[in-house]
Amino acid sequence: MSTHPSLTPISTNNASGAIGPYSQAIKAGDLLFVSGCIPMDPNTGEIVEGIEKQTTQTLKNLIAVVNAGGSELRKVVKTTVRTERSCNTIGLTGRHSMLPTGLLEKHERFCHSKRDLRGRFWFTQTCEVYS
């Protein structure tokens, strides 16, 4: 089954690859839908250790996919964070300092805890971006 001609799969080697038959992102017109980025180092294929490092690597992967889709983080409309721990204790504030000033106040955020994210990592993040 192929995708609709107006949907463009996005891929970059600068972020961890999609697990399974998925795309890192799909571009639909002026919108970019980024799949769940995980804390895998794209150079080694290994999941980084520790919640702070996992949060940072996930954001680096998210940034790489957004850039590969021809957009930038200041155009993020919504992000979704899934974490095994409380959203208040995973160091998001410090890690999100990598994001453009004011971004977190200007878009919709949704964070929820999920028990055991496949037993390998504590953090995933998706986003929708106006490109």
Q: Could you give the domains of the chain?
A: 7-130 (3.30.1330.40)
Residue with tokens 């799949």: 35
Write out pLDDT tens, residues 45-99: 998 987 778 878 888 999 999 999 999 888 888 877 776 655 554 455 555 555 5
Which pTM does this prediction carry?
A: 0.78
Phi, psi of 52 (to 5 degrees): -65, -45
Write out pLDDT tens, residues 20-44: 788 999 999 999 999 888 889 999 9
